[in-house]
Amino acid sequence: MSAPAAFPWAEAMAFGLGRLGWPPERFWAATPRELAAAMRAHGRGVAAGAPDRQALAALIAAFPDP
């Protein structure tokens, strides 16, 4: 059995303090669940990743290079 992954503190702090603009008191008062909900609301969830080939082709078609 492997150990669970460490909590991504650097990413969480960059998002909470930087993107959301929370003061340190607000960031440290938030629970990991609240921070995860805020990240999902801003499209930064764990499931977010690179688009698949079909989605990428649609983006290229919609926004061609000049």
Tokens read off for 13: 């702090």
DSSP 8-state assignment for residue 4: P
Q: Is pTM, for the whole model, over 0.75?
A: no
What CA–CA distances, in Å, run from 18 to 11, 13, 14, 43, 44?
10, 7, 5, 15, 13
For 7-16, the pLDDT digits (tens) are 788 888 899 9
Measured between alpha carbons, how far is 25 from 30 in angstroms, rounded to an integer? 9
What CA–CA distances, in Å, run from 66 to 7, 24, 53, 59?
42, 44, 22, 14
Domain boundaries, the chain: 9-62
For 7-50, the pLDDT digits (tens) are 788 888 899 999 999 999 999 999 888 888 888 888 765 444 56
